[in-house]
Amino acid sequence: MASPWQDPPGMQLAAPRVTPVVKLLLIANCALFLLQSVVLQGWFDRTYAFLIDWFALAPYRWRELYPWVPLWQLVTYGFLHGDALHLLGNMLFLYFLGTMLEAEVGSRRFAAFFGASVVLAGACQLFLGLALGHEGPILGASGGVLAIVCAMATLRPGTRIIFVFVPLTLKTMALIYVGLDVLRLIGELKGQASGVASFAHLTGALFGFLAVRRGWIWRDPVEEVEDWRGRRADEQRATDERRLDELLAKISREGIHSLSPAERAFLKRASQR
């Protein structure tokens, strides 16, 4: 059966149905942008400055506060955007390709993948900024969005989309964006200010590619925790059964009065199960 994302004969255009995690991300990003740029920046300048200082990814804060660094910024920076075009670009990619990826891998896997990509992209850009002495705050979900783009391009490289009225495959679009960020990063390393966190973009792109190639994207953290807890419970039951057999053998040899208080307590708990 053909995938709903493959181009049918005649190439019909339709907006995808928004998936649960993408919907939450769209609402959160747009709501925070309205708060940040319309309400705070327009009427409450000091509160706006506080928001950027403490919730964007600010290298100067990490330098000032070390070793008590504001770790939460590795998450919160991804929900703040510099301007409306920055927000619009990220949200369009999130809507079209994020819904593709979430439908492909499931909501929990998608949420874990996107969260990991935002944190990793932010951390790499932060360390580069600290190394180069940059002071400007880092903000925006672009690292996570590029991770989505490259993950989808790796999963379905030949899938065609309409990008600014031009039909492209996902692989071609991803290569274009990665190439542009490589050029911007080279300029940044030469001292040219681009105003774009290119290293975060490239980190996200590489993570998206590797997550698919290495199979990380199919790992469900909730299932893994449940499996780990199940294995621990099985191991504990096996240990308890061995200990119970040893205590019963001891009682048979030496009598119940030979048990220590701890052994008696364990025997009592075992009898109540």
Asked if 98 and 121 touch (Cβ cutoff 8 Å), the reply is no
| Same domain, residue pair 133 and 237 | no
What six digits make up the tokens of 134?
Answer: 């940059």
| Same domain, residue pair 182 and 92 | yes
pLDDT > 60? residue 32:
yes
Residue-wise pLDDT tens digits, 219-257: 888 787 887 888 888 788 888 788 878 878 878 787 778
Mean pLDDT score of the chain, rounded to an integer? 84
pTM of the model: 0.80
Where residue 118 sits, what CATH number does that domain have? Answer: 1.20.1540.10
Lowest mean pLDDT among 62-66, 100-104, 254-258: 254-258
Residue 7 lies in a domain: no
Region 114-130 average pLDDT:
92
Residue 254 lies in a domain: yes
The predicted structure's pLDDT at residue 194: 64
Using CB atoms within 10 Å of the CB of residue 27, give its burial: 0 to 12 exposed, 13 to 18 middle, 19+ buried.
exposed
The predicted structure's pLDDT at residue 3: 43
Integer Cα distance of 78 and 51 in angstroms: 13
pLDDT > 90? residue 46:
no
| Same domain, residue pair 53 and 165 | yes
- Which position has the token pair 């920046």? 41
Domain boundary among 219, 234, 250: 219
Region 67-95 average pLDDT:
91
Residue 251 lies in a domain: yes
